Amino acid sequence: MLSKKTKYGLKALTFLANREENCPVQISEIAKSENISHKFLESILLTLRKASLLGSKKGKGGGYYLLKEPSDILMTEVIRSLEGPIAMVPCVSLNFYEKCDDCPDENACSVHKLMIQVRDSTLQVFRNTTLADLTQS
């Protein structure tokens, strides 16, 4: 299930992508428009800034802005920065692989086989979807 953090992060990024000019937007404006708690949104935007998806400017006229064009921001980047691994179980993760403690043989594991299919299908959608795609009605 998608966390509220990721859901709100996607909403905030879409809000910024829909702006005609890529100038800084204050957290309060995004929070009000998207009905997100200011404090929670602040944490989310900081995470996105650390992931190099957003830039920020302090002071008067400050706020957050996109560092890349919406068409250059893949959903794989966004989801991994906010949610962590895309795979539902660690034994099929491409970037965060861990062997499952309760599984003696991954190759014989029915859950492993299913989760590889789920991971691959999910990655296909995320790799082929950009922030620009989310802004189109």
Q: In this model, does residue 75 exceed pLDDT 90?
A: yes
Say what the pLDDT of residue 83 is: 93
Say what the pLDDT of residue 55 is: 95
% residues pLDDT > 70 (the chain):
99
% residues pLDDT > 90 (the chain):
73
Residue-wise over 120-133: b if at least 16 C-beta within 10 A, else e?
A: eebbeebeebbbee
| Domain assignments of the chain as residue spans, ordered by start | 4-66, 74-135
Predicted confidence band of residue 69 (pLDDT cuts 50, 70, 90): very high
Q: State the CATH class of domain 4-66.
A: mainly alpha
Dump pLDDT digits (tens) for 10-67: 999 999 999 988 789 999 999 999 999 999 999 999 999 999 999 999 988 889 999 9
Q: What is the mean pLDDT of residues 103-113?
A: 89
Chain-centroid distance, C-alpha 110: 29
3-state secondary structure at position 45: helix
Rg (CA), the chain: 17
Say what the pLDDT of residue 48 is: 98
